[in-house]
Every structure is written in structure tokens, then in C-alpha cells.
Structure 1
Amino acid sequence: MKQVHLRLEDNQYKEIAEYAKGAGMTVQDAISTALYVMLSRQKKQKKNRKFTFIDLFAGIGGMRLAFDEAGGECVYSNEWNKFSQQTYMANFGDMPDGDITQVNAADIPDHDILVAGFPCQPFSIAGVSKKNSLGRATGFADKTQGTLFFDVCRILEAKRPKAFMLENVKNLCSHDRGRTFKVIVESLNELDYEIFYKVIDGQSFVPQHRERIIIVGFDRRRYGNYFDFEFDITPKEPKPVIADILEKDVDIKYTLSDKLWTYLQQYAAKHKAAGNGFGFGIAPLDGVSRTLSARYYKDGSEVLIEQPGKNPRKLTPRECARLQGFPDSFVIPVSDTQAYKQFGNSVVVPLMANVAKLVVAKIEQLEE
């Protein structure tokens, strides 16, 4: 890490310090972020973009990286978590809007593609059958009101982009005995979008077993519904393995303490004796790891790296970034704890980029 000494006028320092305090940042982070913003804006001016998109429930921008790579320009982003906002700002030069439920859909810029990794909240369809019995109409607003998926729907209805791409956990399909996913599909169909979806494992692109459902849709009012869409992804070759993402010199602080390592072994033995599969996971250097989760900051137990003559260690934040396919140029401006949460909640970037290019290619084909 390089150090640069700056001279600031008293009034300049005061303004920066006040801004940093309000944003929950240090003065140093505020100045670094300002420089990233300047560089990001210069890069944007040089790029010739072929479509626009918005980035909802943006996290730290994994989906944005994917659609940037596909040739898009992000015209709006939204993310409520302040630490994720900080990371997003440091990398893209844009501060995402906050609470999506308070955003007027009409104020969002027009765009070609809506992108969202929306949270999977419980969907309440209680009362729908009662409304039917009373002869009242029910639609997506009735079914999804009170969930964040409703905000995706109302923006789709208001802005009618050409297409959308949504990402969620694999279990979305089976949540509430399939009723949740049925509501999602019905709601998108009622908005007049032709829907395609598939569960895809990210290990085709990174050394991690990570299954996620990807839902894409195309505007029937523009393109009709007599077409198909294939998730014809192109796996990375050669297939990546854990050894590919490891750093050479790792701080001893990432090595598990004797107390934690003893606890994890005892915990695993207890569950094995009970016939359960719970326990820590040593990632094979020539294979793939378990799924990285947002709880990784607690003990790192799901993905541990073996060390000769020592206790296993956790992945470093940079290794977690690589495990999700983020480039090494991606800035990590937050604490290790926040970084683990952010990468655990993120997407496999090269997989999303692969599907993003397929969505863009399909739009171009439909518009020929």
C-alpha cells in the first residue's frame, strides 16, 4: 500500500471531515473514494455503451460488473446497506439510492434492462382466495405487496424495459412448497413478460459449488411470445480449482485459533455421530469449495484451507472476492467482517456476465 501526503486548506479539510462523518467514513476513505469517483467518471466518458440498465438490490455491484462487461451503461443503482454502498461507491463512483420502497418508480431513468438480485422474503398470499370468493380481482400487487419483489414489479410496470434479469437462491423454487415461485412467475407473466429460468451452478466459472436461480424475461408487447431463450453458457476452461485463487503470503490472523479449531472439530464429531452432515469444510486445492455464505465472518467453517503443521485458516477477503469471480482490481474499502458478508451475499460475476451477454444477444436478435 502506498501513502500520499496531501495539503488541504482548513476549510477544505473541515468540509471533507463533515462529509466523512455523515457517511460513516474516515477522512482518508472519503478522499480515496473521491479519487475513485473521478477516475470512474473519466472511464465512463471513454466507453461507447450499446444499452442501458439499472442495478437494484445492487450489493457491491457483482451484477453491474457483469452487465458492464456485456457492454451496458448503468443509469441507476439502489442498495440500502451503508457498507455495501461504500464498496459500490469506491468501485463505480456512484452512490446507490437507499430504501427502494420509498423510491418513486417514475423518477427512475428509462432503461433497456432491469437487473436485480432481490432478497427472498416470505410471500404472503393469504387473502387471495377470499378476494376471489368475493369476486374481487387479484394481481401481482395483491400477491406480492409487502415483499421487496413487489418493488421489482412496480418498476417493471412503470418503466417497461425491454428485458430483465433476476437472481436468487436455488431454494426460491421450493420455498413454501413452490407457492412463492409460482407467485413470482404469475406476477411477471401478468406484467406481460415472457419468462425463462434455470438453476445454474457457478462452479463452471469459479472453484465454488454455488447454485442460483436466474430468471430472465422479455417484453411481449415489443417482441410477442413466439421465441425461445437458452441458457447456453460457456464454462471456463480449464476448470478453475481452489489453488487458483489463493494468495501466496497470508497474515497469521487468518489461521484458526486452537480454541476455535478444537470447537469446530468437536462440533463436527457431535453431528456426525447423530447422523448429520454438519461440520467444517476443508476445501480441496485441486477441487471446488462449499458455498460461501454471508456468515463466513463468524468462523469461516464452510471453506477452510489446510496448512501443513498448523491449524487450518480462513480465506482472506481477497480470496473470497476471487472465489466469486471478482477481478483483483476490485477495491475492498471495508473491514474484513463487512467484506466477508458482502462477498458471501454476492454473485458469481463471470456466470452473470455470461448470461448477461446471452440476454443482450437475444434482444439484438429480436430487434433485427
Structure 2
Amino acid sequence: MKLKTIDLCAGIGGIRRGFELAGDYTNVASAEIDEMACKTYEHLFGESPRHDITSDDYKHYLQTLRYDVLLAGFPCQAFSSVGLQQGFEDKTKGTIFFDIAKIVKMTRPKVVFLENVQNLLSHDNQATFKTIVDTLDRQLDYHVVGVFHDSDGKPIYKRSSFIRNSKDFGIPQNRPRVYIVAFSRAYFGRHLEKIPLETPVRRSKGPIFHDLNDILDKGEISPRFFLSKGYLQTLENHIERQKKKGYGFGYRIINSPEIEHPIANTLLATGGSGRERNLIFDPENGKKYAGTMVQGKYSPINEKSIRTMTPSEWGRLQGFVGYAFLNEDGTDRFSFPDEVPNVQRFKQLGNSVTIPVVEEFARYIQECCNLMYDDFSRTEKRIFSMYGNEFLLCSAIYEKLSSSLRDKTINTYFDIVYHFGQREFRVKELARYLEVTPARASQIISQLACIDCIRHNVNGTYFFRDLLSFSH
């Protein structure tokens, strides 16, 4: 089954690339507002993602698209459990998630895939995540994988159902993240009972990199990545003070010789700070530079061969370099635009996703959709091929009339929806299209009006109701 995606809060396209690698996914729209990230995205994919999902114009543009899966690595902003009472359209919240929820309501994708930091689960005393689950489950009518219901219909779940770690997906990085997969009940209905109860917990194939040693750059490393003697001394003094207080905070040399299979700590999206959590012991290059002065450093390079990681090493730890953009001949086509400085490269990679994790989720979504689709009736398969308002209208017709009408008649009504859409029409036009008498056309209109799918205009014309403006 081929599915179309939209890539919101796109960053540099890690989620999109993960789905593309899974196969049978094509992206049809992207949105990102960070200009430097947009430069890299455009460089990698050949198209501009410069769109703002908070814009009503862009929301309405997305409403015109025919797509299946909404992707978003949205930022975690503060909002409270007020959403449980007032709904996601409360304009006072001003959070990106609620813009995404509005887009889901306006466009009705078959599947929603969201990624966020681990802290999302505990944010605002867990109110944030509860509101997200409630919005998807109760207000938008999506089955969130990992969410069940108690006897009162209240959503219940285990936090562990949503946390997945990059180190379990073939990448030597300890990076726990929250991943949410939600399937539309309107599209899949009772067939949702067939899908697995949990999302992937590990990579189905062998590891991409066995440990940190596999991702380190080979050959000469620029001296600018080595710590100055003064800065290293500052880090050492800091960690000693932390130890005296009983804390374990401080710098980390993550490939110390005594570590048999080293892995990296979580890469941060700070751009500058935080890289001391992933320091590298590099005697091959460090001995050459020890004691030398480098422009921009206030003291000579340290004599302990300690350096930070490079952007390409971070790229491997996120699956961008050495995996996601490899050509068939093994050459790597991942790169940054020349005008993107290192500080931005670190920031963009730290802010992105680990692509192999997303790839595994994309395969899971594809497998679930195929499993359910294979169990569909012929009419359900036809409805599944529809999008947006057309889908909602035909779903309503099928739900209300399938028990009393033959499939052939139901499909005729689907043809009417497809042909006329939101365009006004008269009884004579409908009769002409169906090649029936005006009396039969009037009968059909009356039947559709009874299930609230059709509206009458004062000028004697009819039109199909815009169900996208109502909850379904």
C-alpha cells in the first residue's frame, strides 16, 4: 500500500526520511519556520519547507491535499489539563500541538505519527500528555496505540508504552524519546482489533553501528574540536565539586579504553553547550596538537587528547550520515549547505530524530494498514481511498444506509459525492447524471437529507454539507 505523508515541524527532515526509507511513502507537503533548518531541508530534499502551521492560510492549503499520514516532531510547550474540559480549539493555549490537532480535524488523515522529548510524559505534572491523549482519543476519535479504556471509558496507559530508545534500534546513542502512533477510527473501525497492542521496541534488522567506535571519524580531525587545557581543567574542577556533593554531573569521556562497548549520551539541541557530555579520547590526533595554540581558544590544546565530537559523528548517531542518505553504490549524499556553521549543524542534528527508529515505526504503520486493509470489504476499500470531506460524507452514508441498501446503491451514492462535491446542483442535474427520473433523484436527495449529509439552498439547489467543520 502506498501512502502519502505531510511533514510538519519538519526540522531538517529526519522523520520524513525515516518514512521514505521504509518504502511506499511519498511526502506531499512540509512545514518548518527555523530559517537555518529550512536551508538544510531544502539542500537535502530539493524543496522549501518554509510554511507556518499556525497560519490559517496554510491550514486551509493542507485541507486541499489528499494525504494519508500526518508526521510531526512538535515542540513541547506548556499547556494544562484545561484542554480536557475546554477542547483543543481553545484559542488561549497557543501551543503548536493544538495547531496540529486542528489540522488533523480539518484534513482527517488515516494515521498520525508524533515524536517528542521524554519529558513530555511528566511535563506539567503529566497534564500535558493526558491532554494530548484525550485530544487524539476522545475529541478527534483516533485509536492511540498503547492507550486502553477503563470501565468508565477513561483512557489509561503505561508511560513505558510510549518511550523508545535509539540504542535499541541499531544506533549507539542513549536517547529515550516519546513516539505516538494514532489510527483513525473513522477509517479503520473494528479492524483496529487486528493490529499489535504496542509499537516496535527494537530494530527488526541487525545493528547499523555496533558501538561508538563504529561512528568515530577516521583519519585527521581538525584541532578546533580539541579542548583547550584551560577549559578541560574547568570541567575537571567542576566534576570534582559535584562528586563532593554526592552528584554525578559533569563531563563524560564516552570512549574510555575500559568501556568495552561504548555508547553516546543523548545529543542535545543546544548548538554549543552540552557537548561535554560526549567527549572523545583521541590519542592519534591529540598527541599531534597537544600544547599548540588554536585561534579562538584562550589556552593551548590539552595534553590528554580530549576532544568534542564532530558534526559528522553526530550525524551517524542520528542515522543521517552513513545510513539514511547512502546511494546504491555506497556513497553518502548527506551534507549541510556550506553557509550552515558548525554550531547550527550540532543544533539541527541534536534537535532531529534518530532516523532508524522512525523507519521502524514507519514499517509498523505500513504493516498495520496492510493488515487492516486486507480485511476490508470492497465498499470499505473504496471509502479508504477517499480523503477529507469526501471521506466523511461517504462514511456517514455507509454507516447510516448500508444495512438497508444494496452495495450497488451505496456505491451510486458515493459516485454522487465524488461528482458533485461541494458544488451546488439541482434535481434535474442529479437526474441527468444518474440517468434516472427527477422523481427518483428527489427520492435520493430526501434519503441523503435524512442522514444530514445534504443541505437545501433557498434558490432551489442542493449541496453536500461540509462535515469537516464538525466533529466526527
The TM-score normalised by the length of structure 1 is 0.80
Helix, strand or coil at the partner of 1:277? coil
Counterparts in 2 of 1:330 and 1:176: CA distance versus 1, 3 Å: same
Q: Aligned-pair distance for 1:363?
A: 1.1
Q: Would you say 1:74 and 2:23 are equivalent positions?
A: no
Match of 1:89? 42
Q: Does 1:363 find its partner at 2:369?
A: yes
Tell me what 2:307 maps to.
313
Q: Is the 8 A contact 1:255 1:314 kept in 2?
A: yes
Give the letter for the 1:89 counterpart.
E
Tell me the amino acid that sits aligned with residue 165 of structure 2.
D
Q: Hey, what does 2:214 align to over in structure 1?
A: 244
2:169 aligned with 1:183: no
- The whole-number CA distance in structure 2 between the counterparts of 1:307 and 1:107 is 51
Q: Deviations for 1:149-177, whole angstroms, at most 9, x for unmatched residues?
A: 01110110011011011001111111112
Contact kept? 2:235, 2:250, Cα under 8 Å:
yes
Cα separation, 2, equivalents of 1:168 and 1:98: 20
User: Within 5 A, what are the aligned runs for 1:182-201?
Assistant: 182-189=130-137, 190-197=139-146, 198-201=162-165
For 2:175, the aligned partner's letter is R
Q: What is the Cα deviation at residue 146 of structure 1?
A: 0.9
Structure 1 unpaired stretches of 5+: 1-48, 133-137
Partner of 1:208: 173
1:209 aligns to what SS in structure 2? coil
Q: Could you tell me how far apart the structure 2 residues matched to 1:340 and 1:185 are? A: 32
Instruction: Identify the residue that residue 107 of structure 1 maps to in structure 2.
Output: 61
SS at match of 1:280: coil
Q: CA deviation at 1:331?
A: 1.4
Aligned length: 312
Q: Hey, what's the Cα distance between the residues in 2 that align with 1:145 and 1:122? A: 8
Correspondent of 1:155 among 99, 103, 106: 103
Q: Report if aligned partners of 2:80, 2:124 keep a CA contact under 8 Å in 1.
A: no
- The match for 1:123 among 71, 79, 97 is 79
Query: Which SS does the other structure have where 1:115 is aligned?
Result: strand
> Structure 2: any 5+ residue segments left out of the alignment?
147-161, 288-303, 323-332, 375-472
Contact 1:246 1:319 in 2 (8 A): yes
Is the partner of 1:298 in helix, strand or coil? coil
Aligned mates of 1:251, 1:53 — CA distance in 2: 40
Decide whether aligned partners of structure 1 residues 273 and 303 sit closer, same or farther in structure 2, where only a CA change above 3 A counts: same
Bigger Rg, structure 1 or 2: 2
Query: Conserved in 1, the CA contact under 8 Å of 2:144 and 2:182?
Result: yes
- Give the Cα–Cα distance (whole angstroms) in 1 for the partners of residues 51 and 108 of structure 2: 22
Q: Which residue of 2 aligns with 1:28?
A: none
Q: How far has the Cα of 1:277 moved from its partner?
A: 1.8
Kept in 1, the 8 Å contact 2:271–2:344? The answer is no
Distance 1:299 1:77 in 2: 29
In the aligned structure 1, how far is the partner of 2:28 from the partner of 2:178?
25
TM-score, reference length from structure 2: 0.63
Distance 1:143 1:185 in 2: 19
Quote the offset at 1:234 in angstroms. 2.5
Structure 1 distance, partners of 2:351, 2:319, is 13
Residue type at the aligned position of 1:50: K
Change (3 A) 1:241 1:192: same
* 1:220 and 2:185 aligned: yes
2:50 and 2:336 map into 1 onto residues whose CA distance is 20
Q: Report sequence identity in percent.
A: 38
Question: For 1:299 and 1:349, how far apart are their aligned partners in 2?
Answer: 21
